[in-house]
Amino acid sequence: MVLGNDFQPGLRAKARLPPPVQGTTDGPLVTGSVFGVEVTFLVYTGANITILKPSVVNKIPGLERLSIERIDTSMLLTDGSSLPFQGRGRFSIRIGDQQVEHDVWAAEIELDGIIGMDFIMEHNCRLTLGQGHSELILSGNVTGCKGIDKLLKCARVDNCYTAKQ
């Protein structure tokens, strides 16, 4: 299945994307691959799902893309707007020396991909940031992150206020 821009949104999912990332130097970013296609992932604990850009998904060999199902749902962005998902599938993701299978959603995001909390929790990852050092540990294998030196001190603040009646 080739993903395109003809998809029309329906239901809304509670996935939230980060504020716009200013290119490939904001991080933490980790380089990996999906079915052999190189991908730069933003490791983002504020996203509850793992997402790939459709142009990356379309580079995956045809037989591997057969597992993609079209879905009729949208994600809710931090600014309150929505963005449609174009599909979902189970993909083989390699980071460093470790390869895992994981459910990935496709949506027209700015980066190649986002590793969300679903991936971090399911594969027992650990993200270490600080003192000029950043790394993602996946099943004991350490992969260095880039872009962390240019991160803003505060990338996002959510505030929820419930008024008393």
CATH number of the domain where residue 114 is located = 2.40.70.10
Q: Which residue has the tokens 């963005």?
A: 83
Q: How far is CA 135 from the centre of its chain?
A: 17
Quick check: is 127 in a domain? yes
Domain count, the chain: 1
Residue 33 host element (H or E): strand 29-34
Quick check: is 80 in a domain? yes
List the domain range (segments joined by +) for residue 40. Answer: 11-150
pLDDT band at 154 (very low <50, low <70, confident <90, very high): very low
pTM: 0.73
Quick check: is 2 in a domain? no
pLDDT band at 11 (very low <50, low <70, confident <90, very high): very low
Per-residue pLDDT averaged across 33-37, rounded? 92
Quick check: is 60 in a domain? yes
Quick check: is 113 in a domain? yes
Quick check: is 145 in a domain? yes
**Nearest-CA neighbor of 4 among 53, 60, 73?**
53
Percent of the chain clearing pLDDT 90 (strictly above): 32
Quick check: is 6 in a domain? no
